[in-house]
Structure 1
């Protein structure tokens, strides 16, 4: 795939900031005060812009993809969520760092992020691009040693559409690839990304969601969708999830 200008950015971004007329309000500037240097740098990463059929139509900065102003205009990007189980069939649940720009301090899936607009992560066959992106993030965010995990360990299950405001400025609007890993792995999470983490049984996860429903914990909306829509039925069959694989299905549309 030729990415040398085939898909120009759809909104003002780092690529065309000299011509940009994008105006940042005082409210937007205030919304960045909790971000650390790493999160600010990652706001300039280029995400893959798609239509609702998950066809690539462009590229845009992570910042612009997550501004509610642009989301309300229809800007949609590609993402992924990894659900990582150990061989005891416990799910790794993380609490997002307070420095995250969307859903800071929320409990969520094992690892969620975005494939970037670069050749290795644009490859569509067998969701290779997204799986490579997931491998990259599992190693950098969760600190999993490179020799312990490979792309073959990452199973592409299905895709989920969701649109979720985080606050008045930031939000999420994506088609997320749901990826499953079942393996015992060493973890050394980056504290700039992860506030806390824990392996949980099915009962523990259900209790966490119940506390979230009562307002006692903060849960990302996509994590609740993943658990209630899929994991509760998959959990007894984690040794062989092949009957549940739906590579052509986009749920939520």
Structure 2
């Protein structure tokens, strides 16, 4: 497998280099490009995943459907589709960008820092998930209102990026207006 590289960003969110993905997440993680995707099924249920215990940052935490990093010279749409297939075995034909401005910085219990500019997407599938155990240890589908209520009630069991994303009006609005199927 080829080395995955992460796109580093400057303060203006312009690409300014790359770094080996295996080395980028430390206690002093540089700002880099990522994405989050919320995948819905034909019942308009959201796929929520639990990160594998082997993950370097936030192992075992519940989070949105798929997260990842576009590689240099890869469109972010293609990166979302690639990670949906890799992490969950899901073919996603189209992805909809719902928040191009989301960025966050958070530190997990081990001291690993996430420092990402992280556009947020919606994806749709009719496939059944086939979770990659290296990425995901569990998952479930649920109505978005139940997920939002769960995140509000016990935010500490969800990833900090998911909690912050679901608090953003632009994301809440896009999700609330789902009428895909």
TM-score in terms of structure 1 length = 0.65
Matched, 1:222 2:164: no
Matched residue pairs, number?
Answer: 178
Provide the rounded CA distance (Å) in 2 between the counterparts of 1:175 and 1:203: 26
SS in 1 for 2:158: coil
Paired residue for 1:235?
175
- The list of structure 1 runs, each at least 4 consecutive aligned residues, that deviate by more than 6 angstroms after superposition, is none
Deviation at 1:172, TM superposition (A): 0.4
What is aligned with 1:138? 84
Equivalent position SS for 2:67: strand
Structure 2 unaligned residues grouped into runs of 5+ = none
Q: Secondary structure at the match of 1:141?
A: helix
From the two aligned structures, give the one with the greater strand fraction.
Answer: 2
- Once the two structures are TM-superposed, the CA of residue 209 in structure 1 deviates from its matched residue by 1.2
Residue equivalent to 2:8: 49
Q: Which has the higher contact order (CA 8 A, sep 6+)?
A: 2
Q: C-alpha distance in 2, partners of 1:158/1:203?
A: 19
Shift of 1:237: 1.0
Q: What's the CA shift for 1:149?
A: 3.1
Uncovered stretches (5+) of structure 1, i.e. residues with no partner:
1-40, 122-128, 241-253
The alignment partner of 1:195 has SS state of strand
**1:206–1:149 distance in 2 versus 1, CA, 3 Å:** closer
Shift of 1:170: 1.2
Change (3 A) 1:182 1:227: same
Q: Is the 8 A contact 1:81 1:112 kept in 2?
A: yes
Structural RMSD (CA): 2.1
